Amino acid sequence: MRHQKKTIKLGRTAEHRKALLANQVCSLIEHQRIKTTLAKAKAVRPLAEKMVTLGKRGSIHARRTALATLRQKDAVKKLFDDIAPRSTERNGGYTRIVKLGQRKSDSAPMAFIEWVDAAQIIEEKAADEKKAKRKAVEPVAKQKEPAPQPEEPPLDEEKPTPAPAEEPKPKKRKWFGRKSAEPEK
């Protein structure tokens, strides 16, 4: 029986597993959301939530404990300065796992793991970027259109026009000895 043996082993040795989970939590702190397999996301969640709990305490001992686990000073600083203060009213459940479906190559179930409180910040940034791109594209389109000029009588000397550039042919690719079909023209 496996009573009270809740460690998710992930097919790794204890040292490898500990380093993997620490790196995943550091990536989660840095990027606010990471895409990983569902099993790894479920293994990362308890460690990430323990780190936020340490961050909420805010003491030197808690900071040193987090540094001993994560081993990255900048991640610990961001955890204590940004992520933990956002979660002061919350009593747990700091992360969310969103299932994505299966990976194409090996059909492993994939998932996003993200901070619950960071969803609003990410959506606002994406909306601002879209608006900025649209505004930047519109003036460029207006500049490219030449203003209509009054027609001038043609001169006797006509300048030679450059020959139209030919479209490059698609590269032939061979995968496992098969030839790709040529596109019909």
The mean pLDDT value for 128-155 works out to 62
Q: How many percent of the chain have pLDDT more than 90? A: 62
Reported as a single tens digit per residue, the pLDDT across 47-77 is 999 999 999 999 999 999 999 999 999 999 9
Which secondary-structure segment (H or E) carries 113?
strand 109-115
Nearest to 32 by CA among 100, 116, 89: 116
Q: Scan for tokens 């793991």, then name that residue.
A: 113
Reported as a single tens digit per residue, the pLDDT across 171-183 is 666 566 555 555 5
List, in sequence order, every residue forming a beta bridge with 98; answer none if it has no partner: 112
pLDDT score for 45 = 97
Cβ-based neighbour number of residue 58 at 10 Å? 13
How does residue 150 score in pLDDT terms, banded at 50, 70 and 90? low
pLDDT score for 36 = 97
What ranges do the domains of the chain cover? 14-119
Alpha carbon distance 20, 163 (integer Å):
59
Q: Say yes or no to pLDDT of 168 above 60.
A: yes
* 3-state class (DSSP) for residue 5: coil
Alpha carbon distance 176, 102 (integer Å):
26
How does residue 38 score in pLDDT terms, banded at 50, 70 and 90? very high
Q: Say yes or no to pLDDT of 14 above 80.
A: yes
Beta strand 33-37 pairing with 109-115: antiparallel
Mean pLDDT, the chain, whole residue set: 84
The mean pLDDT value for 154-163 works out to 62
CB 79 within 8 A of CB 95: no
- Name the region of 152 (left: φ>0; alpha: ψ -120 to 50; beta: rest): beta
Alpha carbon distance 67, 160 (integer Å):
71
Fold of 14-119: 50s Ribosomal Protein L17; Chain: A, (3.90.1030)
pLDDT score for 128 = 75
